[in-house]
């Protein structure tokens, strides 16, 4: 009992800092991340070649010159950098053991390599962690689509008893009790000098996540006119992917490679897991039972295993699921309204290999953010980073 008490005191000592500990080396970035241009009023605006295209659906099924949805941008460099610290800081969890980056790891496509994510105290969740690449373009969040903004999405894990298990009161107490964070929040939100509030926390996290942009893969280079960017097998795979036989692009529509809709595809759960009603449990709409948000396929080779609960270990296995017949894996007791495009394309083994080759050409991690090995809380980042010299007095 005494050992637990001393451990709790030690953690509390890290969470609470004095003004003397708020060293001047903590200075938030003044410039925007790569891919963004800083405006005269200190806002980071996304710049991408896709902004040259006007139509969302004017070139067939996900044509090469298709535009992107509107992006969430306009945050300040300081808000983005503050969000970066918060994202990797386990201070945001109840016991200082997990952070946002625990389930959204940069080297795993901002997922975690698990079929079912693990939260505080080793609690195994019911679903996998969706990738965060290109979330700036999304209007739906979570597998069941229940979130409608990045700020709303952030609150789910923060306060879930199985994920980060924090409370609003404790989160505010921890951050306001940390002199370094108070200093950094004043830099990011100069108009709010009366202390840190919840909306600032959510906005900073949204600001950072909005900069996780992946739009310069070899596919993108091909789409913008450099046809040598893809080899013959990848081009063949792209043609199968976009064909009216496979119909992959009907839901995974380029260039986002998601139409952001809810789709009921009848994917099976891992052995021993109960049926997951997905979006139907949120909306109460019977036709959405077993439905999940169509995920983007960007950096898909980094995010195995696949589907909402990691049912398929390999990308080819996931692709082959769609070719095995409409409803072949639906449990007999479940009467699901399967999406119209789920049918029986009967793709060959060679065509599946070509699709997988094409999906590999969607990889682009050039804008991976720097992981801070030193955090304002004094806690160790849950995600390790290589040590090198950088600005702000950090080692990166």
Predicted local distance difference test score (pLDDT) of residue 394: 39
Question: Going by C-beta distance under 8 Å and a sequence separation of 6 or more, which residues neighbour residue 379?
Answer: 14, 89, 90, 91, 96
Pick from 48, 101, 71, 28: which is nearest to 371 by CA?
A: 101
Instruction: Report, as an integer, the average pLDDT of 196-207.
Output: 97
Predicted local distance difference test score (pLDDT) of residue 89: 97
Pick from 347, 307, 341, 359: which is nearest to 323 by CA?
A: 347
pLDDT tens-digit profile of 90-126? 999 999 999 999 999 999 999 999 999 999 999 999 9
- Whether residue 13 has pLDDT greater than 50: no
pLDDT tens-digit profile of 256-294? 999 999 999 999 999 889 999 999 999 999 999 999 999
Contact 143, 296 (CB under 8 A): no
pTM of the model: 0.90
Predicted local distance difference test score (pLDDT) of residue 207: 98
Distance CA 184, CA 376 (A): 9
pLDDT tens-digit profile of 339-353? 988 888 999 999 999
- Whether residue 55 has pLDDT greater than 90: no
Distance CA 3, CA 136 (A): 45
3 state DSSP class of 263: strand
């Amino acid at each position: 009992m005494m050992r637990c008490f001393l451990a709790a005191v030690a953690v509390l000592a890290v969470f609470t800092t004095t003004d003397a500990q708020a060293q001047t080396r903590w200075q938030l970035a003044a410039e925007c991340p790569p891919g963004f241009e800083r405006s005269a009023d200190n806002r980071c605006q996304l710049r991408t070649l896709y902004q040259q295209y006007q139509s969302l659906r004017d070139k067939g099924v996900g044509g090469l010159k298709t535009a992107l949805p509107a992006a969430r941008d306009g945050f300040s460099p300081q808000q983005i950098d503050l969000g970066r610290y918060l994202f990797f800081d386990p201070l945001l969890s109840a016991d200082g053991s997990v952070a946002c980056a625990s389930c959204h790891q940069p080297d795993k496509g901002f997922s975690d390599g698990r079929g079912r994510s693990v939260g505080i105290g080793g609690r195994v969740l019911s679903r996998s962690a969706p990738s965060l690449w290109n979330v700036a373009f999304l209007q739906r969040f979570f597998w069941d689509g229940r979130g409608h903004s990045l700020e709303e999405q952030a609150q789910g894990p923060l306060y879930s008893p199985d994920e980060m298990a924090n409370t609003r009161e404790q989160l505010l107490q921890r951050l306001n009790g940390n002199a370094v964070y108070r200093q950094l929040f004043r830099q990011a939100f100069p108009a709010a000098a009366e202390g840190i509030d919840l909306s600032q926390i959510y906005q900073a996290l949204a600001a950072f996540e909005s900069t996780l942009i992946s739009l310069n893969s070899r596919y993108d280079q091909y789409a913008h006119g450099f046809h040598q960017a893809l080899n013959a097998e990848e081009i063949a795979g792209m043609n199968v992917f976009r064909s009216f036989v496979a119909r992959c692009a009907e839901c995974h529509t380029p260039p986002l490679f998601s139409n952001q809709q809810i789709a009921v595809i009848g994917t099976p759960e891992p052995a021993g897991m109960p049926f997951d009603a997905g979006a139907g449990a949120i909306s109460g709409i019977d036709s959405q039972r077993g439905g999940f948000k169509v995920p983007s396929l960007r950096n898909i080779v980094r995010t195995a295993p696949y589907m909402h609960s990691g049912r398929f270990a390999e990308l080819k296995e996931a692709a082959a699921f769609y070719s095995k017949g409409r409803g072949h894996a639906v449990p007999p007791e479940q009467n699901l309204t399967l999406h119209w495009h789920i049918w029986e394309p009967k793709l060959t083994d060679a065509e599946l290999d070509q699709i997988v080759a094409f999906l590999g050409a969607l990889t682009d991690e050039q804008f991976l953010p720097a992981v801070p090995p030193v955090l304002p809380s004094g806690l160790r980042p849950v995600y390790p980073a290589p040590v090198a010299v950088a600005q702000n007095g950090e080692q990166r």
